[in-house]
Chains A and B, each alone.
Chain A
């Protein structure tokens, strides 16, 4: 088997989710009743037997550190390799690198030392369950310099305006990378290449004063480089805004999407919290919802996602909402099209109503 190492590069991700990203980066956004966005990327990597993963973090990474710990949840607490969380701490007086190349330059030891022939570089905003070994096989088979991963979208939504699009020829070779609105081939911000090739691209990018390796060292050279496009066909969601977060969270309530994203052979792992199973009391009424461990439900819940340890009082009504960990909804409160960040308390009789396009977002630990 070929050895791959992973780099999760959060440097270029914009914290564009208002209250939800005031104090955390995108990668740390809770998603899918018990996960954080980054869990999907990490799990995809460990499912491909990647056992050395570096995370390039620049800002708001406190909650990310808290979540990842030593990587135990992903079996990344290893003697050698494992998880390397690499925040900016660069004091190299000879450093001339800029932008995301600062990470590559200052954390170059990770790449030099890691016991791998290939490196996959990924962001955290594309939620998916992808077989990266299959990507590598295709990469080797096509003898490409770089393989990039894309999803053919049946329908383009507003968030896809902000993703790069790939134009490919009949051999799936990439001929153009841009932001063309109508192009359904959404680049998933993941690429794989030989470790030696990556080192060369890094060196070149720093010499040239580039700020973005993919955009400046790969994208303009599609004629001289063999850039192959791998088509991912599984469940996919790109989270970029509160609206896309809300809409894609609701897709989890669909059995098919859920089954495609959460596969038993390729599980998505997250930090364990040792919560008891969810309990439903005599007056609970739950319909079409996703409910995590530790919840205690006595009221009505419909078309909603409940994270771990949410308490819903008697007579409370929650509809079309996302309720994060440890929120408490007192009896007779009414929530519709609402996103509650962690540990919010909603008092009895309170009514909060947002819209589908513009859900009512309540910041962490608020009491209403």
Chain B
């Protein structure tokens, strides 16, 4: 078979513990975002739009929803005869098997998958970031600079730099130093967790790392510092655009609210860069005669009779008369009773909110409340997916 120039590997096995109840029984990349999407849609659509037609998805934590959602990749045009999407969970080998112990270990355990395509380069991605990026351009840069690895970086506010892996670069973008969450950052170029490696180099380092029992088997903590110490060619590629790591409930809420800005930085209406998703085929939304909807994003098959202001509603949400929803995210197939008030909250999928109930703190703009509900969530989730 023909060799692949570049194979993409998406790390999608993380639990995302800081999202708390949102990832109680689904992997972080499967968390809902933006009225119809799951977070991984952005990375997968980036692959499709960048011409990456071979994508391995490394799963580990609660993979069922993700597996079902991705299927054979048809929604992203990744159902290919040669290549396409492969879901890569940990597996047993003749010498035994093990969980993925870190990001680098996850790739190491799938060297056979990569060898199968004999790629020149491997693109390592996270499945839990929201951004639109042309990986093909980054690959061109990587090739022309003859780097062993190219790391995509973004400028973050200096005061937040201590939350990220920070790259110190010279005038041509060569990485001269790397610090993971530095207390006194030297600059503000944060790693986005997007790497392109020359595969021969990557393979060598992965094999060495696997034999190092001191290693935590992580790209940021182990592989990159070792390569830097060995004097390999590490280049930074600066990305300019909307990029969000929705690691916390607050940041997930904020990223949804960002979509309601008049000119959203993340343009979801760009026909040249579509964001694909695997959604049930549902009829259009119905806005009733008593409805008041403004500053809002509303999904398909919603029936709105109440008031919605500055909120994101996923598909299949019913809002009864006199209900008021403000500054909130309502996930799919939620039914909100008459006169209910929801403010600064995230209401999880499939809930039925009783008449006149109150969710969130109406008086203070405090922390975002996540309403999980007392219903059997799991059953409802499957009902949704069956549709």
Contacts and interface: CB of A to CB of B under 8 A. Distances in A.
A253 interface: yes
A287 B291 contact: yes
A291 B287 contact: yes
A274 B277 contact: yes
Nearest to B264: A279
Contacts of B152: none
B283 A276 contact: no
Nearest to A254: B286
A259 to B, nearest CB: 9
Of A32, A253, A277, chain B has the most CB atoms within 10 Å of the CB of A277
Contacts of B327: none
A276 B269 contact: yes
Contacts of A264: 387
Interface in A56-77: 72-73
B37 to A, nearest CB: 9
B262 A277 contact: no
Contacts of A289: 286-287
Interface in A299-318: 305-306, 309
Contact of A267 (B276, B282, B284, B295): B282
A32 B294 contact: no
A239 interface: no
B269 A296 contact: yes
Of A33, A283, A296, chain B has the most CB atoms within 10 Å of the CB of A33
A15 B274 CA distance: 34
Nearest to A301: B287
B349 interface: no
Contacts of A305: 284
B299 interface: yes
Contacts of A277: 34-36, 297-300, 312-315
B132 to A, nearest CB: 12
B289 A292 contact: no
B157 interface: no
Contacts of B39: none
Contact of A32 (B262, B268, B283, B303): B283
Contact of A270 (B268, B279, B281, B292): B281
B288 interface: yes
A214 interface: no
Nearest to B295: A282
Contacts of A258: 283, 286
Nearest to A275: B269
B260 interface: yes
A73 B387 contact: no
B298 A278 contact: yes
Interface residues of B, number: 41
A255 B286 contact: yes
Contacts of B47: none
Interface in B232-281: 259-260, 262, 268-269, 274-277, 279-281
Contacts of A275: 269
Given A262-B301, A276-B35, A277-B299, A291 B284 contact: yes
Given A255-B303, A276-B275, A281 B294 contact: yes
Nearest to A272: B281
B64 to A, nearest CB: 22
A269 B281 CA distance: 6
Interface string A240-270: 0000000000000101001001101001111
Given A278-B297, A280-B298, A309 B287 contact: no
Nearest to B292: A285
B74 interface: yes
B293 interface: yes
A209 B136 CA distance: 62
A210 B12 CA distance: 63
A290 B36 contact: no
Contacts of A352: none
Interface of B: 34-36, 74, 259-260, 262, 268-269, 274-277, 279-289, 291-301, 303, 312-315, 387
22 contacts: A32-B284, A33-B283, A33-B284, A262-B301, A264-B387, A268-B283, A270-B281, A274-B276, A277-B299, A279-B259, A279-B296, A280-B295, A280-B296, A282-B262, A283-B294, A285-B294, A286-B287, A287-B287, A290-B285, A291-B287, A292-B285, A293-B284
Please give me the 5 A-B residue pairs with the lowest Cβ-Cβ distance, nearest first.
A277-B35, A276-B268, A33-B284, A262-B283, A292-B284
